């Protein structure tokens, strides 16, 4: 059901009906009547920057997780990602449909039907595609803003498999820049397709995208708002109460593996530092107690380069659009966040912001939205 406190829903059909009714009241009824004030209609599609830690799947069981295990941050009332913080901002009078999924790659922007890959649990519980949602006339014709977040997972996976080489004296000599740029160009093509879908179904809507902030502050971290080892006793009780099969299935949906003995493991396919270690790059600095406390300059160079190349290729998008359509690209806004939130206190783990970091980023989104003219 819609989360009225946060003014969003994940149900496209329900959103379409609600948006159509809202627009009818705004256009046909006197403005002084209750419920006739025009709200900004927003559609969000993206990756874990919009969905962390996996709100698209866990919000329905978030209360249960919090009550029985102490897991914080999975319920609909918590603010753990950029969109949570955006739609809860009191200055934004909006109604929002959210179709993002943690783990999604940029090809989700191009997909007309779900390919059931990349995103967490996409094979069993596929998320709606941007194309399918925009094709709904009640949504497409009434939409004001489309917020997109994509490319991070594509780049990191490609970095680990093809771009990062065995360390040979310097970061510059240990990176295949051609491979990196090739992947960034593929990401941009998916953004271009998303813009063409916008033109076809929602030409009045503004598209707002963002770069990623340089993630060079934490070597690692937990994907959760607690120390996962603290809940071992409770998990043991759950094993006895409902059996290990059901317990393991429930936690697998949020990226936690539990073996038959109740031991807990977290998965992070996006941790570049595992690949840096395997390929012999200089180790990250360590504190006296042996814990990693930062990111080595050579690794930081590679991470910055990854996002700089994406930014360079995204800057070519207006020209690519002109070549494709013969027209200038308008109602498109790309927010450069690379130098934002550049302190460890803003980060939850290697690639995800905490609520404090998200709040800072949202200020940039709001500064763009508040300047737009919605008919």
CB-based contacts of 12, cutoff 8 Å, min separation 6: 97, 99, 128, 132, 133, 136, 139
Range of the domain at 205: 8-155+180-222+306-369
Would you say residue 99 lies in a domain? yes
Would you say residue 327 lies in a domain? yes
Of 68-82, 96-110, 156-170, where does mean pLDDT reach its minimum?
68-82
Total-model pTM: 0.85
Would you say residue 187 lies in a domain? yes
Q: Higher model confidence: residue 6 or residue 190?
A: 190
- CB of 365 within 8 A of CB of 82? yes
Would you say residue 231 lies in a domain? no
Would you say residue 283 lies in a domain? no
Would you say residue 194 lies in a domain? yes
**CATH code of the domain containing 25:** 3.40.50.1110
Would you say residue 90 lies in a domain? yes
Question: Mind listing the pLDDT tens digit for each residue in 14-69?
Answer: 999 999 999 998 888 887 888 788 999 999 999 989 988 766 765 555 555 555 55
Residue among 352, 303, 313 at smallest CA distance from 160: 303
DSSP state of 223: S
pLDDT of residue 262: 47
Distances in Å between the alpha carbon of 90 and those of 5, 63, 361, 366? 11, 24, 16, 11
Question: Mind listing the pLDDT tens digit for each residue in 192-231?
Answer: 999 999 999 999 999 999 999 999 987 654 444 444 444 4
Output the DSSP codes for 236-254: HHHHHHH-HHHHHHHHHTT
Residue among 200, 192, 198 at smallest CA distance from 322: 192
How many domains would you assign to the chain? Answer: 1
Element (H, E) at 265: strand 264-266
Nearest-angstrom CA–CA distance, 314 and 110: 16
Would you say residue 233 lies in a domain? no
């Amino acid at each position: 059901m819609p989360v009225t406190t946060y003014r969003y829903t994940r149900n496209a059909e329900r959103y379409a009906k609600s948006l159509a009714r809202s627009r009818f009241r705004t256009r046909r009824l006197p403005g002084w009547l209750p419920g006739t004030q025009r709200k900004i209609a927003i559609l969000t599609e993206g990756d874990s920057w919009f969905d962390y830690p996996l709100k698209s799947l866990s919000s329905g069981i978030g209360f249960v997780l919090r009550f029985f295990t102490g897991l914080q941050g999975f319920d609909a009332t918590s603010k753990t990602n950029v969109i949570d913080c955006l739609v809860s901002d009191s200055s934004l009078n909006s109604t929002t449909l959210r179709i993002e999924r943690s783990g999604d790659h940029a090809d989700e922007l191009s997909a007309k039907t779900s390919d059931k890959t990349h995103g967490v649990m996409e094979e069993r519980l596929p998320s709606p595609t941007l194309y399918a949602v925009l094709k709904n006339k009640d949504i497409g014709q009434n939409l004001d803003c489309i917020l997109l977040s994509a490319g991070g997972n594509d780049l990191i996976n490609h970095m680990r498999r093809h771009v990062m080489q065995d360390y040979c004296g310097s970061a510059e000599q240990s990176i295949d820049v051609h491979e990196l740029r090739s992947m960034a160009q593929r990401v941009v093509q998916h953004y271009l397709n998303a813009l063409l879908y916008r033109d076809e179904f929602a030409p009045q809507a503004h598209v707002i995208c963002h770069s990623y902030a340089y993630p060079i502050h934490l070597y690692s971290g937990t994907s959760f708002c607690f120390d996962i080892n603290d809940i071992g006793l409770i998990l043991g009780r759950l094993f006895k109460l409902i059996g290990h099969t059901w317990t393991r299935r429930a936690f697998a949906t949020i990226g936690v593996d539990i073996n038959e003995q109740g031991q807990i493991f977290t998965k992070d396919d996006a941790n570049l530092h595992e690949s840096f270690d395997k390929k012999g790059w200089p180790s990250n600095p360590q504190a006296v107690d042996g814990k990693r406390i930062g990111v080595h300059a050579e690794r930081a160079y590679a991470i910055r380069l990854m996002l700089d190349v994406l930014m360079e290729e995204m800057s070519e998008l207006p020209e690519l659009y002109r070549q494709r359509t013969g027209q200038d690209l308008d109602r498109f806004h790309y927010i450069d966040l690379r130098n934002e939130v550049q302190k460890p206190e803003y980060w939850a783990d290697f690639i995800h912001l905490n609520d404090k970091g998200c709040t800072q980023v949202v200020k940039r989104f709001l500064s763009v939205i508040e300047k737009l003219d919605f008919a």
